[in-house]
């Protein structure tokens, strides 16, 4: 039985995603596997991600939760995914971002590539009639 995979994800996409994750560094997830540990069996690990994603059987593992201090003295929880899951997320991001980015409003800045809060602040007063809400902020 030689059926095609239901999702057309190339091995090159997974390799490129791995390179982005490696460049970002980051801590180990719930499996305690660092990027260095992941690289010890790199070919096998990347194949496993590719195989599961392209067959539709990939399910992300739990994230490791770490409490980090807030400026006001409190704490907030930060979820740290495994290296493999960060790679899978990068594959999806690389596919979705070019399709979805054009759909965003030009004045939308949250979680957008190459845009930041400073861009938002500088553009709020450049709109016609004193700003996006008709008043200079």
- Whether residue 4 is contained in a domain is answered as no
Residue for token digits 């390179």? 19
Q: Structural domain tally of the chain?
A: 1
- Whether residue 125 is contained in a domain is answered as yes
- Whether residue 34 is contained in a domain is answered as yes
- The two three-digit tokens of residue 87, written as one number: 């790679």
**20 vs 2: CA distance, rounded Å:** 32
21 in helix, strand or coil?
helix
- The two three-digit tokens of residue 23, written as one number: 């460049």
- Whether residue 5 is contained in a domain is answered as no
- Whether residue 76 is contained in a domain is answered as yes
Confidence of residue 134 (pLDDT cuts 50, 70, 90): very low
Listed residue (87, 91, 86, 99) closest to 10, CA to CA: 91
DSSP symbol at 7: S
How confident is the model over 9-47, as pLDDT tens digits?
999 999 999 999 999 998 999 999 999 999 999 999 999
- Whether residue 99 is contained in a domain is answered as yes
- Whether residue 6 is contained in a domain is answered as no
Tell me what pLDDT residue 1 has: 43
Residue for token digits 């057309």? 8
| Residue span of the structural domain in which 115 resides | 11-129
**What torsion do the CA atoms of 68, 86, 27, 41 make, to the nearest 10 degrees?**
160
Tell me what pLDDT residue 112 has: 66
- The two three-digit tokens of residue 48, written as one number: 């496993």
Which tops the pLDDT comparison, 106 or 29?
A: 29
Residue for token digits 């861009």? 119
């Amino acid at each position: 039985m030689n059926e095609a995979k239901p999702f057309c994800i190339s091995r090159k996409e997974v390799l490129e995603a791995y390179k982005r994750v490696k460049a970002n560094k980051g801590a180990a997830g719930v499996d305690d596997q660092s990027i260095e540990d992941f690289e010890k069996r790199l070919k096998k690990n990347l194949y496993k991600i590719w195989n599961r994603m392209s067959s539709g059987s990939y399910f992300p593992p739990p994230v490791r939760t770490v409490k980090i201090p807030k400026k006001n003295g409190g704490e907030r929880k930060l979820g740290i995914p495994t290296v493999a899951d960060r790679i899978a997320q990068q594959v999806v991001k690389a596919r979705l971002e070019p399709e979805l980015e054009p759909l965003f409003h030009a004045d939308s800045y949250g979680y957008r590539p190459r845009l930041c809060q400073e861009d938002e602040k500088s553009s709020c007063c450049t709109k016609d009639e004193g700003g996006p809400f008709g008043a200079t902020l």
